[in-house]
Amino acid sequence: MNINRAAGSFLRKTAAFTVSLFLVCSAALFFCPGRDLSADVGQPDIPVPALSDVHCASYCVYDKTTGYIVISMNPDDRIYPASMTKIMTCLLSLEYLDTSAKLEVSKSALAGLDADSSLMGILEGEKVRVSELLYGLMLPSGNDAANVLGEGCVDAFFKKYPAGGNTM
């Protein structure tokens, strides 16, 4: 099977799952505006904002049982799939990197991060365990952790598949 075709199929399935999960959660929030929600686990009340207080570039709540869009805003806009990219970075990191190994935070990994980026809070020159970077990637959605892991994955990939090699 062609690797590009397999990767594309995997990404489409991952994207479909992520979007479906987002839509289900969004539908629950939209149908309970202004109410407090709680689970039976001793959790404190969670205030849910009214729809007019939700600010995002695009959303779409689709009712799969009826086939209709319940509510949407700019549903056909193309938006950057940052969270899906981070999930793929996590998967590649788990495949190519040893979680107990340490990676050094490079200047290039921190360069270009916007002032409003979500960050793990790592510093240039710091040596951080891959497992800690994975937590920093997935919990606070740290762009700095994503960049360090991405650099580590690229290095590991080229060590495994040297240029000009026929191992793929």
**13, 83, 108, 160: the active-site residue:** 83
3-state helix, strand, coil in the chain (%, to 5): 45, 10, 40
Pair 109, 102: CB distance under 8 Å: no
* Contact yes or no for 85/50 (Cβ under 8 A): no
One-letter identity of residue 155:
D
CA angle (150, 81, 121) in 5-degree steps = 50
Task: Establish whether 83 is a catalytic residue.
Answer: yes
Tell me whether residue 86 is one of the annotated catalytic residues. Answer: yes
Two structure tokens written together for 164 = 């000009």
Active site residue 93: no
Residues designated as active site: 83, 86, 141
